[in-house]
Chains A and B, each alone.
Chain A
Amino acid sequence: MTAHDTQLDQHGRLKHFLTVEGLSRELLLEILDHAESFAGVGDRAVKKVPLLRGKTIVNLFFEPSTRTRTTFELAAKRLSADVLNLNSSTSSTSKGESLQDMLHTLQAMHCDMFIIRHGNSGAAHFIASRVSPDVRVINAGDGRHAHPTQAVLDMFTIRRHKPDFPGLRVAIVGDVAHSRVARSEIHALRALGVADIRVVGPKTLIPAGIESMGVTVYNELESGIRDADVIVMLRLQKERMRSALLPGAKEYFNSFGLTNARLRAARKDVIVMHPGPINRGVEIDSEVADGTRSVILQQVGHGISVRMAIMALIMGSLAPGRETG
């Protein structure tokens, strides 16, 4: 059973959220619309709605994360759920308890939802296919496979600025080979009808055969971002340098670092995104990251509304069904 099959119930409703791959345009837009409704909650005196009152949500993070974990936590709290944060360094897995045993233990405590980040591709899917039927699972990043909530919050950010998806030119720049964000992003853009998707980076960081995902490859930055409406910068992991895929941070910045001068190749109203955390002076210059075209901090705020929408939708699928009236 694929991750997409696992995440839908027999009525086609989202039951878990594991991948963007295979998600219909309608379902994606439904999430974005709900997120738009949740966005106003943060502006009020009481920044909470009572939808998930009495539910317990567990953040299970086996890899370090600040913004993804905290925005998931805030999203859960704004839905009035109770939140448990378990990091691999503080949990029993470091004492040799298996992942499956840990899940059984948490289920015995009547936890309702697991949000999982794990270094192994397919970890969230593995867990979703083993939990009891009333437990929900969200993938917060699994290995190199997917980071679906990041992709949806990026679509939300793009739509806020440029709502006409089919006409957009989107460039994804950097370490595409090791990026779970890039993969999820491409699936989401394709589902929303974006025709011109480019991946831009040195040959060593672009996976062979990626054209089959419906993208065009550029190995030079300026031509890759020419007339782009949206630029998605990816974080360059330091270990890539150590593994000799790249000569060094400085050399990388010289050819692929986004500066204001290079940004002129893109459209005047281009928006620059980055899933964070940013490496200033490696993939992006501070003048761009902090500049007028950057929407990087907006992405963080949007992450809360989008995660609220996804949590509410999948918990709502536990309901027996719609009645009349």
Chain B
Amino acid sequence: MNRIGAGEIDGLIRAMALDTGAWLKRTGRGDPLIIGIHTGGLWVAERMRRELAIDSPVGELNITFYRDDFSRIGMHPRVAPSHLPLAVDDRHLILVDDVLNTGRTIRAAMNEIFDWGRPASICLAVLIERGGRELPVQADVVGRRLDLHPDQHVKLLGPEPLALEIKKSE
């Protein structure tokens, strides 16, 4: 398999929204702010927001300034700046990304979130979870687990329609 199409992805995101709703109910956490990590995470977060009928707009996180590889590769090409529509202090957050791999992106995202304020909690939702963790980071909600070889690369294409592409790294 080297491609997952839009129909299947929409189904995965609907299931993620259901799981997230159930998770919020189980833990007694209401009125969450949903935050997507640029760029793929943002597309998934926007769809989850619609499914969960959350009124507040999606928060956008650009983790460029928090990456741990600045001394190795310098500045990344610019993406839109972070924008959180609501104060994160004492708020429950749903952090959304497209792929969970090493865990370094999520570490950077959490560092940035704490520079905006002190949230009550963070729930991590990812469309694809694959192996290769280098940090102790686990998702609370997962769309699909993929067992991939380390030299396989998975990328979410979008925003409309969404597609997942799995290929061998160059």
Q: Given A317-B74, A322-B73, are A37 and B64 also a contact pair (CB < 8 Å)?
A: yes
Question: A45 touches which one: B62, B65, B72, B117 (CB < 8 A)?
Answer: B117
Question: B62 touches which one: A30, A37, A316, A320 (CB < 8 A)?
Answer: A37
Question: How distant is A152 from chain B, measured CB to nearest CB, in Å?
Answer: 15
- Would A319 and B81 count as touching, CB distance under 8 A? no
Is A12 an interface residue, CB under 8 A from the partner? no
For B83, what are the chain A residues with a Cβ–Cβ distance below 8 Å? Answer: 40
Q: Given A45-B115, A51-B65, are A40 and B82 also a contact pair (CB < 8 Å)?
A: yes
Question: A319 touches which one: B66, B74, B117 (CB < 8 A)?
Answer: B74
- Would A49 and B65 count as touching, CB distance under 8 A? yes
- Would A50 and B78 count as touching, CB distance under 8 A? no
A313 to B74, CA, bound (A): 7
For chain B residues 53-105, which have a beta carbon within 8 Å of chain A?
62, 64-66, 70-75, 78-83, 89
Is A8 an interface residue, CB under 8 A from the partner? no
Is A39 an interface residue, CB under 8 A from the partner? yes
Question: How distant is B112 from chain A, measured CB to nearest CB, in Å?
Answer: 8
Is the contact region of chain A dominated by helix, strand, or loop, or is it mixed? loop
Is B169 an interface residue, CB under 8 A from the partner? yes
Q: Given A39-B81, A40-B83, A50-B66, are A34 and B75 also a contact pair (CB < 8 Å)?
A: yes
**Residue interface mask B108-135, A partner, CB < 8 A = 1:** 0001101111000000000000000000
Is B170 an interface residue, CB under 8 A from the partner? yes
For A41, what are the chain B residues with a Cβ–Cβ distance below 8 Å? Answer: 65
A317 to B122, CA, bound (A): 35
For chain A residues 288-325, which have a beta carbon within 8 Å of chain B?
312-313, 315-325
Is B153 an interface residue, CB under 8 A from the partner? yes
Q: Given A37-B62, A40-B81, are A323 and B73 also a contact pair (CB < 8 Å)?
A: yes
For B66, what are the chain A residues with a Cβ–Cβ distance below 8 Å? Answer: 49-50
- Would B78 and A34 count as touching, CB distance under 8 A? yes
Chain A residues touching B, range: 20 to 34
- Would B72 and A316 count as touching, CB distance under 8 A? no
Is A95 an interface residue, CB under 8 A from the partner? no
- Would B73 and A46 count as touching, CB distance under 8 A? no
Question: B169 touches which one: A44, A322, A324 (CB < 8 A)?
Answer: A324
Is A144 an interface residue, CB under 8 A from the partner? no
- Would B73 and A37 count as touching, CB distance under 8 A? no
Question: How distant is A79 from chain B, measured CB to nearest CB, in Å?
Answer: 8
Question: How distant is B28 from chain A, measured CB to nearest CB, in Å?
Answer: 26
For A45, what are the chain B residues with a Cβ–Cβ distance below 8 Å? Answer: 89, 115-117
For B73, what are the chain A residues with a Cβ–Cβ distance below 8 Å? Answer: 316, 319-323
For B64, what are the chain A residues with a Cβ–Cβ distance below 8 Å? Answer: 37
Is A48 an interface residue, CB under 8 A from the partner? yes
- Would A44 and B70 count as touching, CB distance under 8 A? no
A34 to B71, CA, bound (A): 17
A323 to B169, CA, bound (A): 12
For B170, what are the chain A residues with a Cβ–Cβ distance below 8 Å? Answer: 324
- Would A44 and B116 count as touching, CB distance under 8 A? yes
A33 to B79, CA, bound (A): 9
Q: Given A45-B117, A48-B115, are A36 and B81 also a contact pair (CB < 8 Å)?
A: yes
Please name the 9 residue pairs, one residue from A and one from B, whose CB atoms are nearest each other, closest first.
A316-B74, A49-B65, A46-B115, A319-B74, A316-B75, A37-B81, A33-B78, A40-B81, A322-B73
| Other A-B pairs beyond A37-B78, A45-B117, A51-B65, 17, CB < 8 Å | A38-B65, A40-B82, A41-B65, A44-B116, A48-B115, A49-B65, A49-B66, A49-B112, A312-B65, A313-B74, A316-B70, A317-B74, A319-B72, A320-B73, A321-B73, A323-B72, A325-B169
Some 13 contacts from A to B, beta carbons below 8 A apart, are A37-B62, A37-B64, A37-B79, A38-B65, A38-B81, A45-B116, A45-B117, A49-B66, A315-B74, A319-B72, A319-B74, A320-B72, A323-B72
Chain A positions near chain B (C-beta within 8 angstroms): 13, 30, 33-34, 36-41, 44-46, 48-51, 312-313, 315-325
